[in-house]
Structure 1
Amino acid sequence: MVDPMAYNLIRYQMGLMDKSLKGLFSNRLSFRDASSHIIHKLTLMPIYTPGNVPGLILEIDRNACQFKLEGKRERSYLRTLKVSKNRYPVAKNKNAAHLK
Structure 2
Amino acid sequence: LVQAGAPPGPLFSSFYKLIQTEHIPPCDIAFYFLHWLTDLAGAVPVPLSTYSGSEKFVLRFPQAVLSSFVASFPYLQRLSHTPPVALFEDFLSHWWPPPLGPPPEGTEAIALMR
TM-score band by shorter chain is under 0.3
Structure 1 length-normalised TM? 0.27
Higher helix share: 2
Question: Which of 1 and 2 has higher RCO (CA within 8 Å, sep 6+)?
Answer: 2
| Bigger radius of gyration | 1
Structure 2 length-normalised TM? 0.25
